[in-house]
Amino acid sequence: MPVKKETKAIIALEDGRVFEGRAFGARGERYGEIVFNTSITGYQEILTDPSYKGQIVTMTYPLIGNYGVNPEDMESTRPHVEGFVVREYIRNYSNWRGQQNLEEFLQKYDIIGVEGVDTRAITRHIRLAGAMKAVISTEDLDHKRLVRKAQESPGLVGRDLVKEVTCGERYLWSSTERPHDFPTFKVVAMDFGVKHNILRILEGLGCEVTVVPADTSAEQILALNPDGIFLSNGPGDPAGVPYVVEEVRKLMGKRPIFGICLGHQILGLAFGGKTFKLKFGHRGGNQPVKDLRTGKIDITAQNHGFCVDIESMNKDEVELTHINLNDQTLEGMRHKRFPIYSVQYHPEASPGPHDARGLFQNFLTMMKDYRGY
């Protein structure tokens, strides 16, 4: 059997740092912000999380591909990363759920993977210098030219990535998670890049979930007569979607609202606050978050590069409910007059711990109170 010829892949960062590895998956040239994720498992969920649109993801765990890929672990209809960087790709997966190897999956969706890279060095560099623009190429191997390409590529600040991942039209979510007494509540989910596990959990709790595009107006949402409104996760800079912020502001006080990740940041802007870009973001399944009301600490799954500025929030209107214990950034808040709350992290996990999944039950309680029973 002939030995498969290796293809060199170059990763060039805008500050001049260059890494060499071997390509697996697709071939070509891709641009994005290079970041790292500290999760040990869950690479398929990470690849298919729309929040990673515009990013080249480096996995800190060294062995990736061990258990293959399967249809059940998809968090959207396809991968959204711009590139995928690992220390060692495992071609011969071993798991009863696996149906194809990771390389076949990346090839199908035209995603470039790079292995044989010192991912510890990349991670340390990003932690020190910050997440930055980068390019992956299997075509152009000239280091200086690739660095220039990275420098000239579009960044994430102010850019609208939501329009690239939101659904094209309204639809009713349906899966096998529906309880026997379905439905209990009608929820409209604004899709900024929603993960399927969020929709599964809401449905499993008895919610009929209608998913709408990100540019849906407040009037159109209220015309559906929902019991609650969910603001989803999504990619990029919340300041890049002012049209969404304006419509969310119109919804405040009209129905209970629950926001996660980008939805949390959009609420922060709707409340009159500001957002800023973190140095290297929070990405992984091991982020400690403290509930300021109870003192309870949850280990959470996170994936974001922007954050709501604590100092910009009006404390007379908004209660700060959660903080990140690593860097003291804002992780949760609720409005003091309206039934609105949000968290920066991912209580639905996939991948990650389930410590915070009870927040979905809180959303149901809020809708019950709003309906008066």
Active site residues: 261, 346, 348
Alpha-carbon separation of residue 75 from 48, 52, 72, 200, 271 (angstroms):
5, 12, 9, 10, 29
Task: Count CA atoms within 13 Å of residue 239 on its CB side.
Answer: 14
Q: Which of 173, 169, 233 is nearest to 203 (CA)?
A: 173
Radius of gyration of the chain (CA): 21
Q: In this structure, are strands 88-89 and 63-64 parallel, antiparallel, or unpaired?
A: parallel
Structure tokens, 292: 């300021």
In angstroms, what CA-CA distances link 162 with 84, 97, 153, 190, 234? 21, 32, 18, 11, 6
> How many helices and strands in the chain, by DSSP H and E?
9, 19
DSSP summary character for residue 69: B
Tokens 């009713």 -> residue? 172
Q: Token digits for 98? A: 């696996």
16: Cα separation from own chain's centroid: 28
What stretches of the chain adopt beta strand conformation (E)?
8-13, 18-25, 29-37, 55-59, 63-64, 83-85, 88-89, 112-115, 132-137, 171-172, 185-191, 207-213, 228-231, 257-260, 275-291, 297-308, 318-324, 330-335, 340-343
Q: How far apart are CA 29 and CA 364, in angstroms?
A: 45
Peptide bond into 183 cis (omega under 30): yes
Spatial contact of 340 and 268, defined as CB atoms under 8 Å apart: no
